[in-house]
Amino acid sequence: MTDGSRKAIVLLSGGLDSATILVIAKSRSFCCYALTFDYGQRHRWELEAAKKVADSIGVQEHRIVNIDLAQFGASALTDTSIEVPKNRADLGISGNIPITYVPARNTIFLSCALAWAEVTEAFDIFIGVNTTDYGGYPDCRAEYIAAFERMANLATAAAVQGKEVFKIHTPIINMTKSEIIRTGFEMGVDYSLTHSCYDPDELGRSCGSCDSCRLRLKGFAEAGLKDPIEYRKAVK
């Protein structure tokens, strides 16, 4: 049962960015449908994190969809024979496309969000892309999102019938990691429930040295806050 407010699909990975956009979407009075992908990622702990985050913030429905992106191969995030890079000087943000890039991932995720949006009659989709995370990921840029939105408005039954217009919301696209963390913290996000590490151990503890862990730790440090999650070894 919805409360009559406008519906939104929110892509929820279980990481801190998507937890933050979920709370932002709620603060804008959207009735939120959280969508998480089990895509064969090696950091499957994020699926558990996504459940906890959805429960904690509160959503109308949380759907975990299976799409095995490893069927296409060629990323360290889905292919365990490729090592996750550690302790890179540039944190992967120097403009080269890192091996952790999953081909067309955001395009596939947004396409699925669009399908679910059509079915639920939502016309708003939230995605937690941001330029700090960009690190050479082409599908995190504003011009890409704008092109997807334009395509979505030609792709769908609702759009053709002229009922409504799809809008892709990217509320954190221009924030730094520390701004994201501070924003979410002020809005009550419990970051202890989130997971960011690309290469956790069997207990789900983060490595502290992959690009994702280091961006996260840098963000907390710059925000003047302590990261509440557990790392395999003490981190500064």
Q: Which residues bind a copy of itself (CB under 8 A)?
A: 63, 65-69, 71-74, 97, 101-108, 111-112, 114-116, 118-119, 136, 138-139, 141, 143-144, 147-148, 150-152, 154-157, 159-161
Q: Which is nearer to a copy of itself, 82 or 221 (CB)?
A: 82
Please tell me the distance from the alpha carbon of residue 55 to that of residue 136, in angstroms, as a whole number.
Answer: 32
In angstroms, give the least distance from the CB of 183 to a copy of itself.
Answer: 27
Q: Which is nearer to a copy of itself, 18 or 156 (CB)?
A: 156
Q: Which is nearer to a copy of itself, 154 or 203 (CB)?
A: 154
Of 118, 124, 85, give the one whose Cα is nearest residue 215: 85
Q: Find all residues with CB under 8 Å of 205, minimum gap 6, and list them.
A: 197, 230, 231, 232
Residue 95, φ and ψ in degrees, nearest 5: 110, -20
In angstroms, give the least distance from the CB of 57 to a copy of itself.
Answer: 22
Paired strand residues for 9: 33, 125
**Two structure tokens written together for 44:** 């499957």
**Is residue 126 within a helix (H) or strand (E), and if so which, with residue range?**
strand 124-126
In angstroms, give the least distance from the CB of 137 to a copy of itself.
Answer: 8
Q: Which is nearer to a copy of itself, 8 or 102 (CB)?
A: 102
